[in-house]
Structure 1
Amino acid sequence: MKYRLENNTHRRHLLLKFILPAIFNLFIQATAFSQEDTAGHKAVYDSVAANYNQAASKLFYSISQSGAIEEKKNIAEYNEDTLSTRQDEIIEEIKRLTLEAKSYLEKGLDTTGLSVELKKIEHWYEITSDGVFVKTGSVQTNRNLQTSYEILRELLTRTLARKSYVDDYYRKLVSLRNTIDSLYTKKVLYTLSTDSAVLMRYVNKLTVVSREIKPIDSSFKLALTNISDLQTTVNKFVNTLNASLEKIETFQEELSGNRFRREVNNLGGAIRHVRPFNEIIEMSLIKGGLALTFYVRNEISLISLLLLLVVLAALFLSSLKRRFESRAPENQNLQSHPVLRYPVLSAIVIILNLFQFIFPDPPFIFIALLWTISALALTILFRKFITGYWMRAWLVMFALFLLGNTVNLLLPASRPERWIILTLSIAGILAGLTLVLMGRRHQLKEKLVIGFIAFVVILQAVSVFANIYGRYNLSKTCMVSGFLNVVLAILFFWTIRLLNESILLAREVYNISGTKVFNINFDSDDSKAPSIFYVFLIIGWFVLFARNFYAFRLIADPIKNFISQKRTIGDFSITIGSVLQFFLILYLSGMISKIISFFASHNNDTVLQKAGIGSWLLLIRISIITIGLLLAFAVLGVPMDRLTIILSALGVGIGFGLQSLVNNLVSGLIISFEKPVNVGDVVEIGGQSGTVKSIGFRSSVIATGLGSDVIIPNGNVLNNNLVNWTRDNSSKSIDIIVSVAHGTDLQKVIQVLKQLPGQDDRVLKFPRPVVLIKDYKENTIDLQLQFWAKNIREWAAVKSDIILAMDSAFQAIHFRPGNHEI
């Protein structure tokens, strides 16, 4: 800027010194020439004109030369300034990016921690490889392969997560490095100024910047080298895990294809490979513990959901038990209702057996724990309920089931394990034959249990034969599946029984009329569960039973792939699974909303009514439906912007075609916020009186004293004259008219009438009962007894009892009124 000001001053001096005087002389000469006589002085004219042209040419040449010089100077100065500015911008950008890279490096990847974690994963891999890739023994086993596959799949998931993190970090560093390198390639950085002062200033700036970024650049290069080495290690281990999983799948296919072929020597033959049994137990415990730990950590949300469902079911059954006992305590026998004897245990049995299917691909040790907990709870429920004979039969089968599961946790094959399998199989055959041939079938409610016990005998016989003749995997699978099949069948039968009984008792306790509850038909004359329950029982039993065989995966995996395969419709991608989840979430949200409304409408809890919970139920139901709708669309993969367009279009359609529905819905929201009426209030609306049973989306339900339900649109609730007897209090004024003859001792009659209401605890002490002389007729005098009942729901009973007491009191004083009426 300083140089530019100096040049501008120089140009102004040049203009004043040379150019302006030349223009002035040229103007004077032109004026003098114009004043001469043109005709008389032609020669002078030619001379002056020539001089004028010569001077003008010199002037214009001088001006053009000066302009050209100034133009070159200005262009040069502009280029110098632009060059300097651009160089400063690039240098500052390099500094900024370098500092950003420094900050990213300081916060960045913990290569040491990752290396330690990778070593831990490699250690787990070595443990998992035992019995599969090293120390394989004489035969591969289904359980060892399956457990190892589950662990390796988890290790691969973890390693891929670390790989993704490392790759993202590396890509970020490379991106920063490439951006900085691209700035270094700018030609403007290497264009030097002709001005020595400007050049020196630029060189000094480059020197300072170089000193600042040199250490960072070194750290940058070192980090890229370390991360590149780490990437190589991670990628190599990922390839190892993938290859190991493929090998295990190959082993499983080979075992499945050779399931009926001899794998080892006969049970009494020579042992080809010996491994200490305690070492087998230790290795099996370590692998099983790893599989269980990994699965619990991954599915902690589903486990929490399962526990929450158990708590909610236990609370519901406990509430049902209290209501059932309160109806007629002396006549209620809980022994005949096992679901109410131990509500918590009943909830465990129902929830664990119904919702075990929400867990995807659980390891055997996890699902066996769920079965064991459920079976233990059922064992306690059986006490003093089933006969002693079948209790002992259950305990025998349960014990064999626990022993079979324990043996199934042993992963490598061994000769001691084969003898244990043979012993358990023979015990199963003996127990099963005893129950089938000599069992007391008439004591069984579910006769199909005998069929499952017979199936145990068949499977255990196959297990004995396969074990003796060297078919180890087939023998072990049949032994475990046999005991599993009968225990699961009994668990499912009793789950259905407990569920059916709880629904029937709820219908009885909550006075639910009709045979349809929660969209399921129940026969009120028979306690047998609906057929749909047994259909689900068979399907669930088959799935759990078939999981023990590798062939089940050959069927299940293609179905899973078909369900999870993406299908594109325009720009939108969906899967069959997401569509099923969409409708399932909508159905469940609607069902939960209905259940909440159902129990609220059949709940006579005065605490809830006083708290005003009922009027908020509509908002709760709308919230549940809204959350369910959003979750359903999120699962389906619909973007929120498109969802907004869909809802807007629906809003326009609703505005034109469903005005009445929207009016009732908005009226319901107003009722929820303003609370002119609450669930449980005694009201009169449009000539209809009764108790508010529920406030729904579109309408409210009023239960009349005659037992009928009146459905009134929410708009009518607000538009008509609403009389709420219990909005602020639940008391009601009661008037009784007593007619007495002329000449009666009115003071004595009034004194008797005033004392009667105070003797009933259902009558308010304040305001005090009053007796007024209402009318003086020709033959009688009408007295009016007025008092307040505490609860409007009891006013009719209170009035009836007061009239009875009145009649008794009048008889005691030998007084006979003319008549009494309301």
Structure 2
Amino acid sequence: MKTKSLLLFLLFLFVSNLVPAQGTDTLKAKQAADSLKRNFVAKMQDFAKSSAKKSKAELEADKAVIDQIRIFEQVRKAMQKAKNYLSNGLDTPGIKTELKAIDDDFTRASDGVFINKGTAQTFRNLTATAKILTELLNKANTRKINLDANQQQLNNFRYQLDSLSGEPALFKFPQDSVSLTKYLQKVVLVAYEIKPVDSMLKIANTNIQSLLAQVNVTVFKLQNHLDEIAAYQQAMADNSFKREFGDLSSPEGHYRPFGDILSHSWVKGGMTLGFYAENNYGKLFTLLLLVFLSYTYLKSLKGIYTESNLLRPDMEGQLVIRYPFLSALLIVISIFQFIFRSPPFVLNVIFWLISCVSLSIIFSKFINKYWMRVWTFMVILFMLAAVDNLVLQASRTERWLILIISAVGVVFGLFTLLKGKRDTLREKWIVYSIGFMVLLEAFSMLANILGRYNMAKTLFISGYLNVVVAILFLWTVRLINEGLFLAFNIYSGQDKKLFYLNFSKVGKRAPLLFYGLLVAGWLVLFGRNFPAYNYFSKPLKEFFSADRTIGDYTFSINTVLLFIVIIVISLIVSKVVSFFATDKHLEHKDDQKRYGIGSWLLLVRIAILAIGLFLAIAAAGIPVDRITIILGALGVGIGFGLQTLVNNLVSGLIIAFEKPVNVGDIVDVDGQGGTMKSIGFRSSVISTWDGADVVMPNGDLLNAHLINWSLGGNRKRLSIIVGVAYETDLEKARRVLMEVLGNEDRIAKNPGPVVQFEQFASSAIDIKVYFWSRHIGQALATKSDLIVAINEAFKANDINIPFQQQEITVRYPKA
């Protein structure tokens, strides 16, 4: 349209200019021409105005068409997304089933606390129920968050469709009837497609609102009952010595069959264990991985001692490698059980049972039979107490059982203290824990008789727990020290501070640090049994978790400790990898040495430290801008005074990547020959043939004239010069020498030895023998033995090796 108007305008302009050119020169013609020009200008102005108006209208129409196409495309995409979301989104029946399961679990968990209460609440029942309701509340809250997200997404779809439907461009209709009819048909089609999607979105939104209402009711109910349990626990902690029941001799009040109590205790125990395992499967997997790594380490350690005939028949000081798998189980469970935060008691019982069985097998026939019987009987009493602690509701039957088992423990403990063979006891501290057990069990009996059920049950389980856990921890520390001591007996000691232990005392008395950690762990496990434990530990937890601010940076003591722990762990792991990978084991019978992973070790250590640093920074929440400030400060320090250090560090990286030398290579550096012992960040260590360790900075190592014999296969060419008399048959001498060289196995066959006649010397013909030693370590010994063999062969074949002679003539002048 625009092109056509432009052509008409040009044609009109041409004709108008042509007409005046054909006029006459008269005055009348000139006046007519002027009038014609004025009319032409007016007409051109009117034409321009109408053309501009028409072009603008056409432009607006074109823009509207483009916008309408874009909007229709966006509407189709939004509808498609909504359809896909609705087809793959909300599982209403599944959510209803989940909510019903939560309600069913709540009903089972309420037994003994909110229904069938009995005469009084029990601490174990409140604790188990609180754990179950907390897990159910977490599930309900998770579902609530998902439903809120789904509802928000549905609202976003509806808002997107409504906003697109209200776009002004959709209401700009075409001017001609044909285009208008087609456009209206398109609008009707889109509206027809939108209507069912919008209806589906409304229905889905209604369903979500209904489900949200149910979830909110469930969350409120769970939270309300958790608050009620917290109030029960607070009251129980405030009234720990209050009587809950009558004396054992008084008539029984509320009665519930003991079988029903066991049944609902079994159900709750299974629920707490299942929920906890579901939420902590990562930690359980980590525990199994640590057991496997510890087992691998102890097994290899035992293999080395077995191969070297270093195992003692009585296993004194070597008990840790008697059964590597059981030792790994005991050590890992005893130490890493504390990574599980607020575990259910049934999980602790499983851990302790595995540890007790492992320890019983480990020191069977090692400790005195008397103390073995004491340990076995103590484990039996502990397991009976642990099983009883899993019973969640009080009964007269259980009270009698507690009284009987407590009395047995008191009698047995007193007999052990008074008649026991203390001189044969491996760990003397066990006596104190047995005495403490007797005291606790005696108070448990008294509290039970007087109707203080919760106090009696707490003291009952705590008495036996304190003995068993103390023994487990004492022997765990002993086994750990044995393992480290055995490792340092067979590994060369680069740094005895590697594990921060005094190894001269290992096997006799554990270091004080380990005993401190042992006591702290024992206190935690012991204190968990008391109702007041949470209320004493809560302020401490709040102190460590409270946010503190320095400038714009917010942190807590927990994050700082976590940062330090991650850094320390990464440093220790890096040192352990360096220590056990670079040092060799005891030599094998075939005198072949096992070397470490070489210069790749440096990259491994750098990777470990880098990962540890980034994990520590992420865990502590340190802002990136703070890191840039630190890096800037380091840059300034490097520019002023750390050039040499950085040069050595960079040289270490070059060595790691280019590998001009590896750990275990035989090298010569500036006249210092030896074996490359280790390659570190800043410096490397060379063990010279004289037995000294030369510490050489990595920068000097790269800049020096480095000779690496191992790159060429550890071979070295040597030569021997021998002289024979002038009358000797030279070909015979050659054959004799080749025979001697051929009989020596330490000489390489390819390239083979060479015998060359060197020169006519003053008293002999010099013969030079060239040969390759198979290994540079045998080169000098091979050369020495060849000299002896050549001398013997020449004597046997009458070949004379002359010695240098000089004739001196002394002339005296005549008088």
**Same-fold status (TM-score > 0.5):** yes
Give matches, 1:212-291, under 5 Å. Answer: 212-291=193-272
Which residue does the alignment assign to 1:618? 602
TM-score by length of 1: 0.85
1: CA distance, partners of 2:771 / 2:47: 119
CA distance in 1, matches of 2:492, 2:52: 103
Match of 2:650 among 640, 643, 666: 666
Is 1:361–2:342 an aligned residue pair?
yes
Is residue 706 of structure 2 the alignment partner of residue 722 of structure 1?
A: yes
Q: CA deviation at 1:214?
A: 1.6
Residue in structure 1 matched with residue 320 of structure 2 by the alignment: 339
Alignment deviations for residues 618-638 of structure 1 (CA, whole Å, 9 cap, x no partner): 111111111111111121224
Name the structure 1 match of 2:409: 428
Q: Residue by residue, what CA displacement relative to the aligned partner does 1:359-379 show, whole Å, maximum 9, x if unpaired?
A: 222111112211211111111
Aligned pair in 2 of structure 1 residues 666, 135: CA closer, same or farther (>3 Å)? same
Query: 1:139 and 1:779, CA in 2 relative to 1: closer, same or farther beyond 3 A?
Result: farther
The aligned residue for residue 688 of structure 2 is 704
Q: 1:545 to 1:749 in 2, by over 3 A?
A: farther
Matches within 5 A, 1:169-184: 169-184=150-165
Question: Corresponding residue for 2:811?
Answer: none
Alignment partner, residue 633 of structure 1: 617
Aligned to 1:40: none
Greater shift in the superposed pair: 192-201 or 217-226: 192-201
- Residue 43 (structure 1) aligns with: none
Kept after mapping to 1: 8 A contact 2:23/2:29: no
When the two chains are superposed, the root-mean-square deviation of aligned CA atoms in Å is 4.5
CA-to-aligned-CA distance 1:462-516 (integer Å, 9 cap, x gap): 1111111111111111111111101111111111111112222222222438864
Q: How far, CA to CA, are the matches of 2:149 and 2:83 in structure 1? A: 17
In 2: Cα distance, 1:723 partner to 1:274 partner: 90
Residue 659 of structure 1 deviates from its aligned partner by 2.6
Distance 1:222 1:767 in 2: 89
Cα 1:196/1:775, change in 2 over 3 Å: closer
Moved more, 441-450 or 429-438: 441-450
Partners of 1:499 and 1:562 lie apart in 2 by 33
Do residues 381 (structure 1) and 365 (structure 2) align?
no
Shift of 1:684: 2.2
Answer with 649-658 or 293-302: which moved more: 649-658
1:208 Cα shift?
Answer: 1.3
- For the structure 1 residues 111 and 649, does the alpha-carbon distance in structure 2 shift closer, same or farther, using more than 3 Å as the test? farther
Supply the AA of the counterpart residue of 2:182: R
**CA distance in 2: counterparts of 1:255 and 1:598, whole angstroms:** 53
Corresponding residue number in structure 2 for 1:38: none
Q: CA deviation at 1:450?
A: 0.8
> In 1, distance between residues paired with 2:58 and 2:321?
98
Residue number in structure 1 paired with 2:664: 680
Question: Aligned partners of 1:818, 1:391: CA distance in 2, in Å?
Answer: 82
- For the 8 Å contact 1:325–1:332, the answer to whether it is kept is no
Q: Distance in 2 between matches of 1:429 and 1:801?
A: 79
Q: Which residue among 489, 495, 512 is the counterpart of 2:470?
A: 489
Distance change >3 Å, CA 789–CA 137, structure 1 → 2: farther
> 2 CA distance for matches of 1:78 and 1:765?
93
Other structure's SS at 2:711 match: coil
Match of 2:508 in 1: 527
Q: Which residue of 1 aligns with 2:330?
A: 349
Deviation of residue 600 (structure 1)?
2.1
Whether the 8 Å contact between 2:584 and 2:594 is mirrored in structure 1 is: no
Deviation sequence 1:544-592 (CA, Å, 0-9, x none): 1111112221122233233333445555443322221112111111111
Alignment of 1:559-638 (within 5 A): 559-569=540-550, 572-604=553-585, 613-638=597-622
Letter of the structure 1 residue corresponding to residue 651 of structure 2 = S
- The number of aligned residues is 800
Match of 2:458 among 477, 486, 502: 477
Deviation (angstroms), 1:739 = 11
The match for 1:689 among 642, 657, 673 is: 673
Greater displacement, 26-35 / 241-250: 26-35
2:394 corresponding residue in structure 1: 413
Q: Deviations over 1:219-257 (max 9, x none)?
A: 111111111211222222122222222111111111111
2:753, 2:771 within 8 Å by CA — same for their partners in 1? Answer: yes
Deviates more, 1:277-286 or 1:168-177: 277-286
* SS of structure 1 residue aligned to 2:609: helix
Q: Give the distance between the partners of 2:9 and 2:725, measured in 1 at CA.
A: 133
Query: Which residue pairs with 2:482 in the alignment?
Result: 501
1:784 CA displacement: 9.5
Q: Matches of 2:7 and 2:666 in 1, distance apart? A: 102
Conserved? CA contact 1:324–1:332, under 8 Å: no
Aligned match of 1:136 in 109, 117, 122? 117
Using the TM superposition, name which of 280-289 and 472-481 deviates more. 280-289
Whether the 8 Å CA contact 1:26–1:52 is kept in 2: the answer is no
Q: Retained in 2: the 8 A contact 1:515–1:524?
A: no
In the TM superposition, what are the counterparts of 1:744-759 in structure 2 within 5 Å? none
Supply the AA of the counterpart residue of 2:598.
G
Contact 1:608 1:614 in 2 (8 A): no
Report what 1:552 is aligned to.
533
Whether the aligned pair in 2 keeps the contact of 1:609 and 1:678 (CA below 8 Å) is no
More off after superposition, 688-697 vs 179-188:
179-188
> C-alpha separation between the residues in 1 aligned to 2:266 and 2:795?
88
Aligned residue type for 1:557: K
CA separation of 1:478 and 1:608: change in aligned 2, threshold 3 A: farther
User: Cα–Cα, structure 1 residues 258 and 675, in superposed 2: closer, same or farther, change >3 Å?
Assistant: same
2:81 paired with 1:97: no
Looking at structure 1, the residues matched to 27 and 129 of structure 2 have their Cα atoms a distance apart, in angstroms, of: 117
Tell me, in whole angstroms, the C-alpha distance in 2 between the residues paired with 1:741 and 1:694. Answer: 51
Paired residue type of 1:681 = D
Indicate the SS of the match to 1:702. Answer: strand
Looking at structure 1, the residues matched to 788 and 249 of structure 2 have their Cα atoms a distance apart, in angstroms, of 94
* Post-superposition offset of 1:295: 1.6
Alpha carbons of 1:811 and 1:251: their partners in 2 closer, same or farther (altered >3 Å)? farther
Residues 761, 338 of structure 1: CA spacing in aligned structure 2 closer, same or farther, 3 A cutoff?
A: farther
- Tell me the amino acid that sits aligned with residue 630 of structure 1: F
Q: CA deviation at 1:21?
A: 6.6
Are 1:507 and 1:513, in contact at CA under 8 Å, matched by a contact in 2?
no
Give distance in 1, aligned partners of 2:592 and 2:68: 75
Name the amino acid aligned to 1:634: A
Q: Secondary structure at the match of 1:295?
A: helix
Structure 1, 754-763 or 244-253: larger mean CA deviation: 754-763
1:762, CA displacement in angstroms? 7.4
Alignment partner of 1:160 is 2:160: no
- Unaligned regions of 5+ residues in structure 1, if any? 36-47
Quote the Cα distance in structure 1 between the aligned partners of 2:367 and 2:728. 72
In 1, are the aligned partners of 2:677 and 2:686 still within 8 Å (CA)? yes
Moved more, 194-203 or 743-752: 743-752
- CA distance in 1 between partners of 2:137 and 2:506 (Å): 57
Q: Give the Å deviation of 1:520.
A: 2.4
**Who is 2:27 aligned against?**
32
Tell me which amino acid in the other structure corresponds to 2:465.
L
What is the letter of the counterpart of residue 498 of structure 1? L
For residue 202 of structure 1, report the CA deviation from its aligned partner. Answer: 3.1
Worse overlay, 704-713 or 793-802: 793-802
Q: Do 1:22 and 1:59's aligned partners in 2 also have CA atoms closer than 8 Å?
A: no
Equivalent residue letter for 1:539: A
**Residues 653 and 76 (structure 1), Cα distance of their counterparts in 2 relative to 1, 3 Å cut:** same
Q: Give TM-score, length-normalised by structure 2.
A: 0.86
Instruction: Classify the secondary structure of the residue corresponding to 2:248.
Output: coil
Structure 1 residue matching 2:647: 3-state secondary structure: helix
Whether the aligned pair in 1 keeps the contact of 2:481 and 2:507 (CA below 8 Å) is: no
Opposite residue 669 of structure 2, the aligned amino acid is I
